Amino acid sequence: MLFMRRFLFAILAFLTINNFTVAQGKLKAIKAGKVIDVVNGTVLTNQVILIDSNMITDIGSALSIPANAEVIDLSNAVVLPGLIDCHTHLTSQPSGDYYGDIFRKSPIDIAVTAHIYAKRTLEAGFTSCRDVGAPAFVDVALRNAINNGEVEGPHMEVATLFIGSTGSHGDLNGFSPFLDWQMPKQMSGVANGVDELRKQVRYNIKYGADVIKFGASAGVLSEEESVGGPQFSQEEMNAIVSEAKMWGRKACAHAHGAEAIKMAVKAGVASIEHGSLVDDEGIKLMKQNGTYLVSDIYDDDYILSEYSKLGYPEKIINKEKMVGKLQRENFEKAVKAGVKIAFGTDAGVYPHGWNAKQFFYMVKFGLTPMQAIQSSTINAADLLGWKEKAGSITKGKWADLIAVENNPLNDITVLEHVKFVMKDGTVYKNELKH
């Protein structure tokens, strides 16, 4: 296990270390024409943002700029906090060969391309993300390589192995039982019963999990039959969440079905991922418990348009046809009821770097443009437990900033074309015209 982790880390480091340079001064001053103040829901004008190393030291309209500071002129742009995606699978995306992806790729194949998707995500303006499931701890190696400055990518929280029951969305379904022999048990995340599940949570944390992800219900992009049926008992879900909390970790639940959503909320999860078939009782429970909804409502368009071409079985496409429209309708109901919303896309289901396409649908189905931006900034930072470090342009937080040419409050699709990206005080992209 230790050899595998070191080997994957070495591959990620080797692929990009020679091309990755950071030549930035320590002190910076950004002249911002407009700043989206996500805390107060307002727009500030003619602001100066002072940065020392990787931290914001001050922001205001009448600040003096230190003589030795590098000045970055964004006076013709709109500046926002770096965006946060709370539901990504940063290490892979469909190649166009459904069965090849399942049976012909090893974790090494996934590791050697993961850095590409991390860079695309960062350049799209997402300076932080929560990665909710990857094989063989590749996400841990990627996170560590980014933190060590060897790979370009967002700040990452990682879930490591998806925890699922035997025969569930997190297990290999629809194939010969002899194939199960090929998967080392310690790499599967499949566990059953309270004791096994507590052990699996501890195992994930031991090898680097920042957050625990489990499958409360069935899913869409797998070959088990149900979409929404519960796949753990209430006692099992309680055990997963309580064990995670004991180790100082939050838990999130993949949950499409109404009953599974309610069970996961009662267990105490921080967020419901997908939430497609949530009913009125589930919405009420989520609001009462302060549970975030992380709903990937762009995916339906891409799956129905592209997944047949990518070789996915018709039964999977049919599941999406059943779920997609209901997911959007129920998202709108949850918004109207006041459920907390955090931005999450399931990027990896569609190409990385397209994350911001979801903003249009969030506005279409109930959020204001400001609320949509808040879902990917202050709300997302709160869900990740990073509200003191990220999510707003505030003194004492990471210097994670993006800029666009026009005001996204007037047209939210502007965020699909981020022109400037700064993470930790380092500029990774600047395509603004001066």
Whether residues 363 and 414 fall in one domain: no
Amino acid occupying residue 150 = E
pLDDT band at 24 (very low <50, low <70, confident <90, very high): low
* Strands 70-81, 155-158: pairing kind: unpaired
Q: What is the pLDDT of residue 193?
A: 98
Q: Quick check: is 7 in a domain? A: no
Whether residues 74 and 90 fall in one domain: no
pLDDT band at 8 (very low <50, low <70, confident <90, very high): low
Whether residues 64 and 145 fall in one domain: no
pLDDT at residue 73 greater than cutoff 60: yes
Q: What does the block give as tokens for 2?
A: 């230790």
Q: What does the block give as tokens for 235?
A: 């006692």
pLDDT 10s digits, 172-194? 777 777 676 555 666 789 999 99
Q: Quick check: is 269 in a domain? A: yes
Query: What span, in angstroms and rounded, lies between the C-alpha atoms of 229 and 120?
Result: 35
Q: Quick check: is 14 in a domain? A: no
pLDDT band at 26 (very low <50, low <70, confident <90, very high): confident
Whether residues 406 and 349 fall in one domain: no
Provide the 8-state DSSP code for 109: H
CB count in 10 Å sphere of residue 62:
7
Q: What is the pLDDT of residue 110?
A: 92
Q: What does the block give as tokens for 222?
A: 């797998």
Q: What is the pLDDT of residue 180?
A: 64
Q: Name the CA dihedral angle for 307, 294, 384, 123, rounded to a multiple of 10 degrees.
A: 40
Query: What span, in angstroms and rounded, lies between the C-alpha atoms of 234 and 266?
Result: 8
Q: What is the pLDDT of residue 104?
A: 83
Query: What span, in angstroms and rounded, lies between the C-alpha atoms of 16 and 195?
Result: 41
Q: What does the block give as tokens for 288?
A: 């009462």
Give 422's strand partners: 401, 427
What is the rounded average pLDDT of the residues 160-174?
89
Whether residues 93 and 71 fall in one domain: no
Selected residue with higher pLDDT from 24 and 101: 101
Q: What is the pLDDT of residue 3?
A: 44
- CB–CB of 214/168 below 8 Å? no
Q: Strands, E, within 53-108: which ranges?
A: 55-60, 70-81, 83-88
Q: Quick check: is 49 in a domain? A: yes
pLDDT 10s digits, 335-356? 999 999 999 999 999 999 999 9
Q: Quick check: is 425 in a domain? A: yes
Number of folded domains in the chain? 2
Whether residues 201 and 346 fall in one domain: yes
Question: What DSSP element (H or E) covers 183?
Answer: none
pLDDT at residue 5 greater than cutoff 70: no
Q: What is the pLDDT of residue 19?
A: 41
Q: What is the pLDDT of residue 172?
A: 79
Helix (H, G, I), strand (E, B) or coil at 312: coil
- CB–CB of 33/77 below 8 Å? yes
Whether residues 220 and 323 fall in one domain: yes
Residue of 434, 432, 304, 428 lying closest to 23 (CA atoms): 428
- CB–CB of 334/321 below 8 Å? no
**Helices H, strands E: what count in the chain?**
13, 14
Whether residues 222 and 93 fall in one domain: yes
Whether residues 196 and 74 fall in one domain: no
What is the rounded average pLDDT of the residues 52-56?
97
Whether residues 274 and 284 fall in one domain: yes
Whether residues 75 and 93 fall in one domain: no
Whether residues 88 and 74 fall in one domain: no
pLDDT at residue 264 greater than cutoff 80: yes
Domain that holds residue 375: 83-384
Amino acid occupying residue 115 = H
Q: State percent of the chain over pLDDT 70.
A: 92
pLDDT at residue 11 greater than cutoff 90: no
What is the rounded average pLDDT of the residues 420-429?
98
CATH for 112: 3.20.20.140
pLDDT 10s digits, 234-244? 999 999 999 99
Q: State percent of the chain over pLDDT 90.
A: 81
Q: What is the pLDDT of residue 106?
A: 87
Q: What is the pLDDT of residue 186?
A: 63
